[in-house]
Amino acid sequence: MSATSNPVDVHVGNRIRLRRTLLGMSQERLGNALGLTFQQVQKYERGRNRVGASRLYDLACVLDVPVGFFFADLPAQAGNADLPDTGNAQGMAEPAPSLLSPVLPAMAQDDLTLLSRRETIELVRAYYGIEDSGTRRRVLDLVRSMSAS
C-alpha cells in the first residue's frame, strides 16, 4: 500500500475508532471478536489497511451499527472527485444517517476527532453516571460557565 492512505479508508477507520471508544471497547477486545490482532484493528482505524466488505459487515455486527454508519458524514471531497455523480440512479439506496446525527448533525472531522478522545468519552460517561437529572443540569451549567466561549 502506498505511503498515503485513501481519505475514505481514513474516514471509515475514524468511524470504527469512534464507535469502539463510545462502547468502551479496547482494540484487543474488538480484534478478538473479529479473529484479528489489535495491531490489525489499529491499522484499520488509522486507514493504513483497507476494510473489505465482509470485514466491514463483521465490524458492523460486533459494533452494533448499520454498515452505513462507517460512511456517515463522509465529506464529498474524500471520495474520488473524478467519478461521475450517479445520484440515486438505478435503485441505489440513500446513504444511511449517522447514528449520532440526531444529537450531532454533520460534524467537521476535527469535531469527530475530539469526540473520539478518551478524555471526552470518560467525561460523557461520568456525566451520564450522575443519576439525578437536576445535578446533571447543574454540572452542565457549571462547565458551560467555566468554558472560554
| 141 and 71 in a common domain | no
Q: Is residue 56 part of a domain?
A: yes
Put simply, whether the predicted model's pTM sits higher than 0.75 gets the answer no
Q: Is the pLDDT of residue 133 over 50?
A: yes
| 123 and 86 in a common domain | no
Distance of alpha carbon 116 from alpha carbon 91, whole angstroms: 34
Distance of alpha carbon 83 from alpha carbon 94, whole angstroms: 18
- Please state the domain count of the chain: 2
| 122 and 100 in a common domain | no
pLDDT in tens, 8-54: 999 999 999 988 888 888 999 999 999 999 999 999 999 999 999 99
| 79 and 122 in a common domain | no
**What 3 state SS string does 73-101 have?**
CCCHHHCCCCCCCCCCHHHCCCCCCCCCC
Domain that holds residue 81: 7-104
